[in-house]
Chains A and B, each alone.
Chain A
Amino acid sequence: MIAPKKISITINGQVCQGEQGQTILEIARANNIYIPTLCYLKGLTPWGGCRLCIVEVEGSPKLVPSCATPAVDGSKITTHNERIVAQRKATLELLFSERNHICPICPYNKGDCGLQHQGLIHGITGIRYPYLYPALPVDVTGKYFGMDHNRCILCTRCIRTCDEIEGVHTLDVANRGIKNQIVVDMNTTFGASDTCTQCGACVVACPTGALFDKAAAFRGQWTSCQQVLTTCTECPVGCGLKVHTKENRIVNVWGDPDSPVNTGHLCVKGRYQTWAEPRERIATPLVNGRPATWDEALATIKKAAKVKKAEKALLVAPRLTNETAAVVAAMADKVGQTAMFVGTNEAALCAEPSFSEEALRKLQDADAIIVLGAQPSRDNGVVAARIRVAVRKRGAKLLIFHARKSDLDRYADVAANVVSLESKLWNRIKAVLATAQRPAIVYGPNAMTPIGVTVMERLIGILEANPGGEPLLLGLPISPAALAMSRAGIAAVEEVGPWLDAKPLKFLHIVVGDAPDGGASLLEEKHVPALLGQIDCVVVQASYKSALTDKATVVLPSTIWCEKSGTVTNLEGRQLPLRPVVSVSGEARDDKVILESVFA
Chain B
Amino acid sequence: MKKTTTTTAPASAPAPAKVKVATMWLSGCSGCHMSLLDIDERILELVKHVDILFSPIVDIKIKDMPQVDVALVEGCVNNTDQEHELKMLRERCKVLIALGDCAVTGNVPSLRNQFALRECLSRAYEQTESTKIACIPNDPVVPKLLPKAHPLQEIVKVDLHIPGCPPDADTIWFALTELLAGRTPQLNEKNMRYD
Interface residues of A (CB under 8 A from B): 96, 100-106, 109-110, 116-117, 119-121, 123, 125-126, 130-131, 133-136
Contact = CB atoms under 8 A, between A and B. Distances in A.
Contact of B108 (A102, A119, A121, A125): A102
Nearest to A119: B194
A123 B148 contact: no
Nearest to B113: A133
B107 A104 contact: yes
B153 interface: yes
Nearest to B112: A133
Contacts of B12: none
A405 B60 CA distance: 77
Contacts of B39: none
Residue from A119, A131, A136 with most neighbouring chain B CB atoms (10 Å): A131
A125 B104 contact: yes
A117 to B, nearest CB: 7
A391 B115 CA distance: 46
Contact of A109 (B105, B192, B195): B195
A101 B101 CA distance: 11
Given A123-B187, A126-B153, A133 B110 contact: yes
A135 B158 CA distance: 26
A131 B76 CA distance: 13
A123 B186 contact: yes
16 contacts: A101-B105, A103-B165, A103-B194, A103-B195, A109-B195, A120-B194, A121-B189, A123-B187, A123-B192, A125-B104, A125-B161, A125-B162, A126-B98, A126-B153, A126-B163, A136-B114
Given A117-B189, A133-B113, A135-B115, 16 more contacts: A96-B105, A103-B194, A104-B101, A105-B108, A106-B195, A109-B195, A110-B195, A120-B188, A120-B189, A120-B192, A123-B188, A125-B163, A126-B104, A126-B158, A126-B163, A131-B151
Interface string B147-183: 0100101100010111101000000000000000000
A100 B165 CA distance: 15
B114 A120 contact: no
B161 to A, nearest CB: 3
Contact of B110 (A125, A131, A135): A131
Contacts of A110: 193, 195
B111 A125 contact: no
Nearest to B148: A133
A120 B193 contact: yes
Contacts of A123: 186-189, 192
Contacts of B189: 117, 120-121, 123
A134 B188 contact: no
B188 A133 contact: no
A126 B110 CA distance: 15
A202 B187 CA distance: 33
A292 B93 CA distance: 74
A100 B101 contact: no
B106 interface: yes
Contacts of B107: 102, 104
A117 B192 CA distance: 11
Residue from A109, A133, A136 with most neighbouring chain B CB atoms (10 Å): A133
A134 B104 CA distance: 17
Contacts of A133: 106, 110, 113-114, 148
Closest CB pairs A-B (n = 5): A126-B161, A133-B113, A125-B161, A120-B189, A109-B195
A377 B192 CA distance: 46
B161 A131 contact: no
A398 to B, nearest CB: 45
A37 B162 CA distance: 25
B7 to A, nearest CB: 23
Contacts of B165: 103-104
B114 A100 contact: yes
Nearest to B194: A103
Contact of B160 (A105, A125, A130, A136): A125
B154 A130 contact: yes
Nearest to B188: A123
Contacts of A135: 114-115
A104 B108 contact: yes
A117 B187 CA distance: 13
Contacts of A121: 188-189
Contacts of B151: 126, 131
Given A102-B108, A104-B107, A116 B195 contact: yes
Contacts of A103: 101, 165, 194-195
A100 B153 CA distance: 17
Contacts of B188: 120-121, 123
A333 B67 CA distance: 95
B14 to A, nearest CB: 36
Contacts of A116: 194-195
B192 A125 contact: yes
B145 to A, nearest CB: 15
A93 to B, nearest CB: 11
Nearest to A120: B189
A469 B137 CA distance: 83
A103 B158 CA distance: 21
Contacts of A101: 105
Nearest to A115: B194
